[in-house]
């Protein structure tokens, strides 16, 4: 009882309460997410009951056992403090040669979540489909200059290609179908695998994170992304055959490590489109954890129609549906990625 009393006193007495409130208001969105909890359907930030239902069984178990959806005890990922100095950037390649696994969605929303936490983020659309550019409200057909020009034209400065996004702290190197020509043209270039690395180098001091959205192939563009990167994130859809092709991907990552980029590391496997209502989804996730162990992020991205909606809206889920579970999941991922980076 005494303890309670003392706590209550210090709470109400705090002379600096107003200033504390002000300072906290910038991050209050994130503090709504109580520590260690994934997708708590009872929490205030959950306005999407239909989607919450897909996660409810696990959420209940998580509350009881503090076990995350991957079946492992859930660590607490602290809310990242503000940074005053920026750069040099860590470069992350979002990579899986399978299409439709959530690469682009993860690049946009991890980027936006990192930017919300005050990190300077550069997103690189490295898929000629231009889905990342579209997802941020850019019409790729209308672009004069894209990442293609930055790659192929000597003397082209990144500033001419860079676009500001509607998200503070987040910029974009857009792309469109022009980039598909680069794949062919690069073949005859000297140091063809290092072209993107060279193009990004002058930008690294300006940013904390560069996230490259790869195309669904293991061709020369993807090898360029892996050569430019420090870390790879592999999104895996919790569906049949999720693991098919992953051996080829890890082999490619190892080859790039050996021959081109010894600094490259697999940061993590990100389970996406998870639906805890289906035994199947849970089984796939269990298999993925069995295969990749600690490489699997504790954060798991649930399946929700909110993500396709954000593409139409042309903005990240963190602003389109700021209080949704999907936004919470990508903020949690950002915290987990930051925690991994800081642990090094």
Ligand X SMILES: Nc1ncnc2c1ncn2[C@@H]1O[C@H](COP(=O)(O)OP(=O)(O)O)[C@@H](O)[C@H]1O
Q: Which residues bind ligand X (CB under 6 A)?
A: 99-105, 131, 216, 272-273, 301, 303-304, 307-308, 311
* DSSP, residue by residue, 118-173: T--EEEEEESTT-HHHHHTT--GGG-SS-HHHHHHSTT--HHHH-EE-SSTTEEEE
Asked if residue 103 binds Mg ion (CB under 5 A), the reply is: yes
Least gap, CB of 315 to ligand X (angstroms): 13
Q: Which is nearer to ligand X, 80 or 127 (CB)?
A: 127
How far apart (Å, rounded) are the C-alpha atoms in residues 344 and 322? 30
Least gap, CB of 137 to ligand X (angstroms): 15
Q: Which is nearer to Mg ion, 54 or 222 (CB)?
A: 222
Q: Which is nearer to ligand X, 80 or 274 (CB)?
A: 274
Contacting Mg ion (CB under 5 A), which of 33, 110, 131, 288?
A: 131
Least gap, CB of 103 to ligand X (angstroms): 3
Q: Which residues pair with 125 in a beta bridge?
A: 213
| Count of chain residues binding Mg ion (CB under 5 A) | 3
Q: Which is nearer to ligand X, 100 or 118 (CB)?
A: 100
Beta strands 209-214 and 170-173: pairing type?
unpaired
Least gap, CB of 310 to Mg ion (angstroms): 14
- Adjacency order of strands within the sheet including 265-272: 163-164, 170-173, 121-126, 209-214, 90-94, 231-237, 265-272
**Kind and range of the H or E element at 46?**
none
Q: Which is nearer to ligand X, 80 or 285 (CB)?
A: 285
Least gap, CB of 202 to ligand X (angstroms): 27
Asked if residue 179 binds Mg ion (CB under 5 A), the reply is: no
* DSSP, residue by residue, 304-342: -THHHHHHHHTS-HHHHTTTSHHHHHHHHHHHHHHHHHH
DSSP 179: H
Q: Which of 317, 111, 343 is nearest to 207 (CA)?
A: 111
DSSP 241: T
Taking CB within 5 to 8 Å according to partner kind, which of Mg ion, ligand X, none is near residue 45? Answer: none
Contacting Mg ion (CB under 5 A), which of 62, 70, 96, 104?
A: 104
Q: Which is nearer to ligand X, 107 or 121 (CB)?
A: 107
Q: Which is nearer to ligand X, 205 or 308 (CB)?
A: 308
**Nearest residue to Mg ion, using CB?**
104
Least gap, CB of 235 to ligand X (angstroms): 6
Taking CB within 5 to 8 Å according to partner kind, which of Mg ion, ligand X, none is near residue 300? Answer: none
Beta strands 209-214 and 231-237: pairing type?
unpaired
- Return residues touching Mg ion (CB under 5 A): 103-104, 131
């Amino acid at each position: 009882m005494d303890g309670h009393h003392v706590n209550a006193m210090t709470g109400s007495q705090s002379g600096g309460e107003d200033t504390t409130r002000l300072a906290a208001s910038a991050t209050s969105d994130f503090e709504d997410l109580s520590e260690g909890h994934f997708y708590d359907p009872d929490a205030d930030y959950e306005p999407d009951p239909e989607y919450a239902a897909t996660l409810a069984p696990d959420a209940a178990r998580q509350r009881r056992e503090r076990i995350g959806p991957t079946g492992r005890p859930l660590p607490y990922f602290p809310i990242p403090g503000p940074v005053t100095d920026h750069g040099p950037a860590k470069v992350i390649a979002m990579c899986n040669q399978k299409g439709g696994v959530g690469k682009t969605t993860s690049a946009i929303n991890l980027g936006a979540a990192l930017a919300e936490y005050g990190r300077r983020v550069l997103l690189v659309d490295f898929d000629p489909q231009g889905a990342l550019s579209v997802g941020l409200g850019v019409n790729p057909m209308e672009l004069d200059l894209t990442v293609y020009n930055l790659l192929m034209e000597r003397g082209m400065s990144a500033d001419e290609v860079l676009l500001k996004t509607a998200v503070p702290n987040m910029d974009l190197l857009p792309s469109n179908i022009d980039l598909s020509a680069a794949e062919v043209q690069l073949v005859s270039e000297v140091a063809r695998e290092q072209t993107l690395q060279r193009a990004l180098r002058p930008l690294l001091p300006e940013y904390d994170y560069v996230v490259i959205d790869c195309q669904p192939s293991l061709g020369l563009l993807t090898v360029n992304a892996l050569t430019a990167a420090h870390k790879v994130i592999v999104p895996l859809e919790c569906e049949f055959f999720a693991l098919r092709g992953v051996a080829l991907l890890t082999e490619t990552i190892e080859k790039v490590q050996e021959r081109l980029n010894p600094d490259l590391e697999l940061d993590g496997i990100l389970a996406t489109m998870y639906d805890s209502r289906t035994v199947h989804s849970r089984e796939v996730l269990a298999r993925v954890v069995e295969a990749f162990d600690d490489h699997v992020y504790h954060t798991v991205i649930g399946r929700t129609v909110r993500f396709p909606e954000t593409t139409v809206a042309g903005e990240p889920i963190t602003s389109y549906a700021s209080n949704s579970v999907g936004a919470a999941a990508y903020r949690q991922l950002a915290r987990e990625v930051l925690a991994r980076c800081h642990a090094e």
